[in-house]
Amino acid sequence: MRYSTTLAGGVLALGLLSALPAQGADPTFTKDVAPILFENCTTCHRADEVGPFALVTYEDARKRAKQIAKITEKKIMPPWKPSEGHDTFKNARNLTAKQIATIKAWAEAGAPEGDAKDLPKMPDYPKGWHLGKPDLVIQIAKPFTIPAEGPDIYVHFVLPLDFKEDKYIKAVQVLPSNRKVAHHAVPMLDGSGTARALAKKHGGDHYPNFGGPGFIPRGFLPGYAPGQMTRFDPDIEAGITLAKGSDIVLQMHYHPIGKEQTDQPQIGIYFSKDKPKRNPNLILLGNNDIYIPAGEKEFKRTDSFKLGCDFKIETAWAHMHTIGKKTKVWAELPDGTTKNLLQIDDWDFNWQDTYTYKKPIILPKGTVVKSEFFWDNSADNPRNPFNPPKLIKWGEGSTDEMSGVILGGVTVSGWDEIGMWLAVIGHYFEVEGIANEAKKKREKEGKK
Ligand code: HEC
C-alpha cells in the first residue's frame, strides 16, 4: 500500500500548491477573472440577457470591480438560493471560496488587465431552439408590453390546444422573444377551463395573478430561466402526458428595466410516440394557516407527510411570497437517519427555481418528509410590502402569503402510483382543513 499512499500524498501536495496564488503575482482579468465570469456570470450578464449590464469585456468588469467583489463575497451573485452543504443539485450556480478570493484580490490590486493572450474564449450560447425544430410551436397572440418602471410583473397567458387525444411529451422549450425582461417562465397544464375563464374576465388571452395561477395545475412543463438548457433528460423516468382537452398556461415573470419593452414568448414542444412508462408523482407540503401579525419577526409554520410506499425524488421546488424568510425540507427515515432535501436561508421571491437532484433520492416507505417555513413581518424586513407593517394572511395576492413545497418524482413500484396520488390529495385536504379550523377559531375570538 506504500505506493498508493505516496501517490495520494503527491496528488494532495499538487492540489494544495495549485490552490495557493502564485507568490507576489496579483490575479489579472484575462488569466484569472475572465474564466470565472465566463463560466458563472455571462449566461445572464451579456447583451440582451436578464442581467442589468454585461460582464464580458475587461472594461465591463474593471468599471465594477469593487461591486463585483462585494456581491460575490456576500454570495448575492450568482443568484443561487439553496444553502451550502446542499450541493446535491444539477446546474448549481455557486462560486468556490477560491474563486471569490481571486475576484477580491484582483479588485484590491486595482483590477489589472493582464496579458491579452491569456484571455479564454467566451462560451458559445445557443440561440433559438436548443434541440432543433420542435414538432409544435405555439406563440402568445400579441406582444405583451412591460412598462419602463414599477414592480415585477406576473402574468398568465392561456394557450388553448384543443387536442382530441392524449399526447406524450419528450421535451419542451420556452423561448421568450425578449430575454432582457424575461426573468422566468413556468408552463402549467389546466384541464378545468378555469384559466380560460380568468383570461376572458380580463378581456383577452391573459390574466395577472401574483402568487399562483388561480387553479390547481394538472401538471407542469419544463420552463425558462436564464442560461437553462433544454434537454432530453434520460435520468427522469416519468414522461409527461398532455391529456386531451388541456390548455397550456404560461406564467411569465417580467422585470421592468427602465425602458418600455415587449415580449412575445413561444413554446416549442417535442412529442414522443410512446406512452411514458411511468407517470410523475409528487409530494405536496404546505400550511395555509397563515395569519402573521404586524411586527412578528419569526412566524413559523410546519407540515409533514408520511410515505405509504417507496418513493424516488427527482426535483424540489419551494414557494413563499415576499416576506418569506427561510424554508427547510428534510426526510426522517425509518432507520432513524435524517436527510436534508432543500434549505433556503435567504428566501427571495424573485429567484425561485425547480432544483433537480444530481442523483435521485430514494426514500423508503414509512419515511416522514417534513418542512418548515418562516416569515418576517417586521419593519426590519426590507422586502415587507407595508410600511408600517400590517397583518398579513394567506392568499394568492402580491401582499398575501403562501407556503408550499413540491417534491417531484416517481413511486419505486408502478403499482403504487395511484395510491400515492390519493394519499397526496388526502393530505392536501388535511392542510385545507387545518387552516379552516384555525380561521373559525379566530372568528369566534372576534379576530378578522
Ligand atoms: C441567472 C442570471 C444571473 C447570473 C448567473 C448572474 N447574475 Fe448578476 N444579476 C442578475 C440580475 C437579474 C440582476 C439584477 C438584480 C436582481 O434581479 O437580482 C443582477 C445584478 C447584479 C449586480 C448588481 C447588483 C446590485 O446590487 O445592483 C452585480 C454586481 C452582478 N449581478 C454581478 C454578477 C456576477 C459577478 C455574476 C457571476 C459571478 C453574476 N452577477 C451572475 C442576473 C444574474
Write down the domain spans for the chain.
Answer: 15-118, 136-272, 281-444
Q: Best substitution site from 71, 104, 179, 257 to test ligand 1's pocket, by max atoms within 8 Å of Cβ?
A: 71
| Model confidence, pTM | 0.81
Note the pLDDT tens digit of each residue in 282-315: 999 999 999 999 999 999 999 999 999 999 998 8
Q: Rounded to an integer, what distance in angstroms lies between the CA atom of residue 356 and that of residue 209?
A: 26
Reference 83, options 342, 369, 355; nearest CA is 342
Beta bridge partners of 238: 278
Peptide bond into 388 cis (omega under 30): yes
172 is written with which cell numbers? Answer: 419542451
Q: Is the pLDDT of residue 275 over 90?
A: no
* Mean pLDDT over the full length of the chain: 88
Phi, psi of 84, rounded to the nearest 5 degrees: -65, 155
What is the per-residue burial (b if ≥16 Cβ within 10 Å, else e) of 188-206? Answer: bbbbeebbbebbeeeeebb
CATH of domain 281-444: 2.60.120.230
Q: Rounded to an integer, what distance in angstroms lies between the CA atom of residue 78 and that of residue 150?
A: 24
The residue written with cell numbers 395545475 in the block is: 217
Q: Which atom of ligand 1 is nearest to the CA of 40?
A: 37
Q: Rounded to an integer, what distance in angstroms lies between the CA atom of residue 331 and that of residue 312?
A: 12
What is the model's pLDDT at position 16? 42
Q: Rounded to an integer, what distance in angstroms lies between the CA atom of residue 420 and that of residue 428?
A: 12
pLDDT band per the 50, 70, 90 thresholds, residue 356: confident
Distance 82 CA to ligand 1 centre (A): 17
Mean local confidence (pLDDT), 261-270:
95
Distance 349 CA to ligand 1 centre (A): 15
Q: Is the pLDDT of residue 17 over 70?
A: no
Q: Is the pLDDT of residue 30 over 70?
A: yes
| Atom 12, ligand 1: residue with shortest CA distance | 51
> How many angstroms separate the Cα of 236 from the Cα of each of 132, 310, 362, 367?
21, 17, 13, 22
Reference 32, options 43, 42, 22, 45; nearest CA is 22
> How many angstroms separate the Cα of 272 from the Cα of each of 2, 128, 134, 139?
55, 21, 11, 21
The residues lining ligand 1, judged by C-beta closer than 6 Å to any ligand atom, are 40-41, 43-45, 50-52, 55, 64, 67-68, 71-72, 77-79, 93, 95, 226-227, 350
Distance 78 CA to ligand 1 centre (A): 6
In the three-class reduction of DSSP (H, G, I as helix; E, B as strand; rest coil), residue 347 is classed as coil
pLDDT band per the 50, 70, 90 thresholds, residue 210: low
pLDDT band per the 50, 70, 90 thresholds, residue 243: confident
Mean local confidence (pLDDT), 253-271:
93
Beta bridge partners of 327: 344, 373
Reference 408, options 308, 305, 278, 315; nearest CA is 315
**136-272 fold:** Jelly Rolls (2.60.120)
What is the model's pLDDT at position 376? 98
Q: Which atom of ligand 1 is nearest to the CA of 64?
A: 29
Longest dimension (CA), the chain: 78
Most confident region among 93-107, 120-134, 340-354 by mean pLDDT: 93-107
